[in-house]
Amino acid sequence: MWGYLAQFAADSSLNLWIAETYWLWPVLEIIHFIGLTLLLGGLLIIDLRMAGHIRVVKPAVTHQLLPFVIFGFALNLVTGVLFFFGDPGRYSINIGFQVKMVLVLIAGLNALLYHWKVSPLMEGLTEDSSSPLLARCTAYTSLAMWTGVLLTGRLIPYVGTG
C-alpha cells in the first residue's frame, strides 16, 4: 500500500513543487508544530479532566477546547500529507512513520468512541463527580496514542527503514 501511495506522490506535480520550493519545508514544519501544540495542548486538558484529574475544571468546559484540537489536527493533517508528497520515498519505507500512522488510526477510533459513547456520559458530571470507567480508559488511551504519535513523529528522521 505505501509503495503505491509513494509512487503516486512521487509522480505528482505537488512533489515537484515541494521539492523545488526551498522555503516551503521549514514553513510546513512550523505550521505542523503549531498544529501539534493546539492538538496536544487541548487534548492534555480534556483527557486529564476526563480521567478524573484537574477536577476544578467542569467537564462541560473542556468542550470549549475541542475547536482548537480539531483545528490543530487539521493543520497537522494538511502539513503531514504535504510532507509525504514532498518525500514519499523516505516516508513510505520509514518504520517511525508507519508506526505513527497506526497510532493516529487508533487515536482516531478512540476519538469516535469518545464522541459516540463517552461525551454523553460526561455531560451531566460536575466538578465533584467521578469520571466513569469508560471515560477514564478513553482518556488514557488518547494520552498514550498521541504521546506515541509525538514520539514516533520525532523519530522519523532517525529510525530509517523497517
Q: Give pLDDT tens digits along the chain (162 positions).
A: 677 888 888 889 999 999 999 999 999 999 999 999 999 999 999 999 989 888 888 777 888 999 999 999 999 999 999 999 999 999 999 999 999 999 999 999 999 999 899 888 777 777 777 888 999 999 999 999 999 999 999 999 898 765
* Residue 37, domain extent: 2-159
What integer pLDDT is reported at residue 161 of this predicted model? Answer: 67
Region of 57 please: left (phi>0), alpha (psi -120 to 50) or beta: beta
Q: Is the pTM of this model over 0.75?
A: yes
Taking the C-alpha atoms of residue 10 and residue 129, their distance in angstroms, rounded to an integer, is 53
Domain count, the chain: 1
Q: Determine contact, residues 146/81, Cβ cutoff 8 Å.
A: no
Taking the C-alpha atoms of residue 119 and residue 125, their distance in angstroms, rounded to an integer, is 10
Query: Residues, the chain, total?
Result: 162
Q: Determine contact, residues 81/123, Cβ cutoff 8 Å.
A: no
What integer pLDDT is reported at residue 122 of this predicted model? Answer: 77
Taking the C-alpha atoms of residue 50 and residue 139, their distance in angstroms, rounded to an integer, is 6
